[in-house]
Structure 1
Amino acid sequence: MSELPKNRTRLRPERVAAAVLPRRFTAIMPHDSMRWRMVMAVNMAQKRAKKAQRRKQLATLAKREDAIYNSLPARVARAAQAPIRHCCVNEGLFDIGLGTLLLTRGQASPYNAALFLLDTLALGVKDVMFRTLESAQVEQYMAMADAGGTMVPIAPSEARKLLRELVAWSKTHGFAPHREFAALEKFFGDVNADDSDAVFQFGRDGQPVLIGELDPDLDPDVEWELADEEPDTKLVDQSGSSRRGDAG
């Protein structure tokens, strides 16, 4: 190896490092190999931790998106784009006070079906269900529902108006609809309730009436009228005596 000219001096390693390496590395001299390896190991560990955190965030986001996609409101919104196939209600709904409203949508079987269990005497919309039904299952369900009165077609606008007015009326007497009613009511899609001029009468003379079957200890032949002056339900019979019960 040739010697350097006398008028030139050999550069020390730390000066070379300061010239060619980024500033954050200049405090660590190349000859300090142990410290250099430790810093590199820390940097790699930090990079791996960041990548792992990013993967975890992406997985959480994917689960959240799946949950939203499969939620009831999202499924109802997608299903509401299909054409209406059935819209039926029990013919004796207002005579008996209990019945079911069925709405199905779909191009062909199987259909998406919304079912609303109604109490027109007091409780309003007691229950709701959202199911996928084959044609045979729809017919079978309608046959079973005939026990509460023959299932007859009803205009979708009239059906939606019935649900909305029943819920509004029952709320004024302290009975909230089923917790999933608001989401499932959107299954009617762009059906306009105002297109119907139907008029509905709920309760008895406009007042809510709880049927005896609400409490298995009550005589089924006795009707119990709701005294809604108190927050907890007070059932009052026709003779004026009273007893407390569960309103739902």
Structure 2
Amino acid sequence: MAQARTAIVTGAARGIGAAVAKRLAKDGFAVAVIDLDAASTQETVAAIEAEGGKAIGVGADVSDAEQVAAAVAEVAEKLGPPTVLVNNAGVLRDNLLFKMTDSDWDTVINVHLRGSFLMTREVQKHQTEQKYGRIVNLSSTSALGNRGQANYSAAKAGLQGFTKTLAIELGKFGVTANAIAPGFIATDMTAATAERVGASFEDFKKGAAAMIPVGRVGTPEDIAATASFLVSEEAGFVSGQVIYVAGGPRD
């Protein structure tokens, strides 16, 4: 890495976000761990510091423009201008369409789509000033459609269009934008889905693995490894792409 750079990872208190934050710290980035509650970020921050990395935890609701502006300003002040952004923050409010409430829809769209928009709009100021940047948005195989996830599928498909447009608009400033679309990843979120459908997590994972060509479910570290490549200097000619990290062509 030519110089020390600062990365922001949202929704990084646990799961995929935490794995990405730890991997980027290992890669030499100073990492801002953003999650809804600052206290919840401390485990990820401590794990990074224990390995000799540099990190801070920041509490922010990514769907709130004022909180986003304050969070990014804090990161820039404490760690330097953020030139890498991983938009990972997300929530689930699964339900079949006829049971889905206005709140179920709005919450998911606001966190995933509005949150990624607000974070990116704020961070791109630093990226364009620095004439360098990497944006990675977390999509999902659910973007291709998934029963009980009209809200989540719409948000994750929307992020793909958002990503491609960012690549077009920001390319001339040395900024790339790509999306990772994970398949089945073993996290607290998928464990909660198993509970919702009344299955044990082990059985749920076994059933998922049986339908995945490589014969196993994914781990947060699988996603972190892909993010590590996309934010690297070497990935400068990769932009506007959606990479399905799903153990096969699609989940």
Q: TM-score, normalised by structure 2?
A: 0.21
TM-score by length of 1: 0.21
Structure with greater proportional helix content: 2
